[in-house]
Amino acid sequence: MNDRRRPFPEPIPRYTANERTNHWLVALSFIAAALSGLALFHPWGFWLTALFGGGQWTRILHPFFGVFMFIVFFLLAFRMWGDNTMDARDREWIRSMRQVVNNREEGVPEVGRFNGGQKLLFWSLIVCMIALLLTGLVMWRPYLAAAFPLGLVRFASLLHAFFALVIICLIIVHIYSGFWVKGAMAAMTRGWVTRGWAYKHHRAWLRDIDERDAR
Ligand code: HEM
């Protein structure tokens, strides 16, 4: 690392290179799946097919983007699973969300590696990803759809659109919070955060790291 950009005191590692590569692969595949999906959803999105080589290519590629996104997402999710279990402290944090948003965090419970909002996002993403994969497989012509009754294929396409809408909204909130919390984007690009950042946003996590280092 360039020493002039190294914060003082020692930076705290937050995401490994593998985690960051994995995260940005999920992000890229999400963008590809979302844009190609919106292109197929309604005629007003048809112009987006130009990004994927026209209508037919968009239709062919979209399910493959989705399957790829599902696989890379679960690789990331398994790495982060253990840090996302909800406890009473997280539920209390979620109830205090208004204070957090207003930057009045005194009295709000200390946060581990991820806060209650991030954990809520994590589990909602798991549900959406599974639902999108299952409904997508049921409607995947020409490979799988013929194996299911037409009524089920139609219902699956309704659910697929619903979960796609939910996940797009979740990711918009996720991206907004990534920019809103100063220093969070650097965590996911460079991999480290300052002690001050960890103390302000994830104090229980910082204490765990210090205790581990002291041992
Ligand atoms: C497309 C643009 C995206 C941007 C700019 C972005 C930004 C970020 C940032 C800055 C963090 C670090 C937060 C922290 O450590 O406090 C992060 C973490 C994370 N991101 Fe993304 N992300 C994007 C897309 C996605 C997508 C599509 C997914 C999954 C479908 C995703 C899943 C996650 C998860 C599970 C974490 C770790 C926990 C969390 O912060 O919620 N991200 N992201």
Task: Say what the pLDDT of residue 191 is.
Answer: 97
Task: Say what the pLDDT of residue 7 is.
Answer: 53
SS3 category, 175? helix
Task: Say what the pLDDT of residue 184 is.
Answer: 97
Task: Say what the pLDDT of residue 6 is.
Answer: 58
Q: How far is the CA of 145 from the centre of ligand 1 (A)?
A: 33
Low-confidence ranges of the chain (pLDDT < 70): 1-8
Contact 105, 97 (CB under 8 A): no
* 45 Cβ neighbours under 8 A, 6+ residues apart: 38, 39
Q: What is the DSSP letter of 104?
A: -
Among all residues, which ones are annotated catalytic?
174
Question: Would you tell me the crossing angle of helices 88-95 and 116-138 to the nearest 10 degrees?
Answer: 100
Angle CA 200–113–29, to nearest 5:
115
Contact 112, 205 (CB under 8 A): yes
List of domains in the chain: 14-214 (1.20.950.20)
Determine which residue's CA is closest to atom 17 belonging to ligand 1: 188
Whole-angstrom Cα distance, residue 126 to residue 190?
26
Residues with Cβ within 6 A of ligand 1? 14, 23, 26-27, 30, 73, 80, 114, 118, 121-122, 125, 171, 174-175, 178, 184-185, 187-188
Determine which residue's CA is closest to atom 19 belonging to ligand 1: 23
